[in-house]
Amino acid sequence: MAALNRSLLQTQVTFLISKRFRGKINIQKPRKPHFERQLLVDFTKPVYSIPKSKLPDYALCDRGEKIEYVKVVDNPFERILARECLDWFNKSKMVVFLHLNAISMEDKTPVFAALRKNNMHLRTYGKKIVSMATKGTRYEAVNHLFTSHQNIIFGQPENAAKMFKILKKSPQLVVMAGIIQDRLMSKNELVEFSQLPSLDVARSQLCSVLDSAGSSLVGQLTKAQQSLVSNLEQHVELQNNPKQDTES
């Protein structure tokens, strides 16, 4: 029997068994901790300041405190970008401001290439760069459209219809406003402008209207003379052929 007990798996017996002393822990009047533990508790105890509701009025006044101003660092690269941005504003007769939603570079690259192919350029500038570029110029009002980095399209007015056709394929680029020949326009005004015919077609339509007005005026002035001449011709024919008149 003893050999059988040795061959079987025996359970391990712990040497120490934890047991709660006196059944329950005294929470209301706990025992004082050890000196080192009490020292650690006192050292790590958080310190809260006096709430503002209990402070006197003179303590809440901040007029005597010194205001620290952020030092503005002159960045030469930002000045170069500002000159480039102002140059785009000056040489472009059409400037369109876009609101950019979340879009990947993979989806944005075809839009950039399509605009470049149609002689339009998509640029990205921050608020500080645009503020430096347009300060003291006639474009200073566009600073209200910027909150952070913004996308701008520079081009010519005759390409407005192509621009809306390209942006229709990417709804992440939303048109906010634009400048057409030094005139600030809303999105609806830009859409109406893009639907207008080209300058050559408008000139030909104007020439046809002016030509039709002149021809109608000449026709109205010569109508009485032409009718008088036709009546006189008929009268001469009747005088030359009296027999035909009597037979008729």
Q: Hunting for tokens 């706990």 — which residue is that?
A: 30
Strand (E) or helix (H) holding 246? helix 242-247
Instruction: Count other Cβ atoms within 10 Å, centred on residue 88.
Output: 16
Distance CA 3, CA 176 (A): 93
Distance CA 129, CA 44 (A): 49
Domain count, the chain: 1
* Structure tokens given for 33: 């901790």
For residue 82, give its domain range: 76-194
Give the lowest-confidence range in 60-69, 86-95, 110-119.
Answer: 60-69
Distance CA 115, CA 165 (A): 10
Question: For residue 168, is it within any domain?
Answer: yes
Condensed to tens digits (0 to 9), the pLDDT of residues 156-211 reads 888 888 889 888 888 888 888 888 888 888 888 888 888 887 777 777 878 887 77
Of 98, 192, 189, 83, the residue nearest 130 (C-alpha): 83
Taking phi over 0 as left and psi of -120 to 50 as alpha, with beta for the rest, 12 belongs to beta
Strand order in the sheet with 94-100: 121-125, 150-155, 94-100, 173-180, 184-186
Distance CA 128, CA 81 (A): 10
Condensed to tens digits (0 to 9), the pLDDT of residues 6-55 reads 666 566 666 666 666 556 777 888 888 889 999 998 899 988 888 888 88
Question: For residue 69, is it within any domain?
Answer: no
Question: For residue 123, is it within any domain?
Answer: yes
Q: Reply yes or no on whether the pLDDT at 247 is more than 60.
A: no
Q: In this predicted model, which residue has the larger pLDDT, 199 or 142?
A: 142
* Structure tokens given for 241: 């052929």
Q: 122: domain CATH number?
A: 3.30.70.1730
Condensed to tens digits (0 to 9), the pLDDT of residues 123-140 reads 888 888 888 888 888 888
The pLDDT-based confidence of 154 (bands split at 50, 70, 90) is very high
Q: Hunting for tokens 């520079």 — which residue is that?
A: 154
118 residue type, one letter: N
Q: Reply yes or no on whether the pLDDT at 58 is more than 80.
A: no
Distance CA 245, CA 248 (A): 5
Q: In this predicted model, which residue has the larger pLDDT, 221 or 62?
A: 221
Q: Which residues contact 143 (CB under 8 A, 6 or more apart)?
A: 127, 130, 131, 134
pLDDT given for residue 10 in this prediction: 62
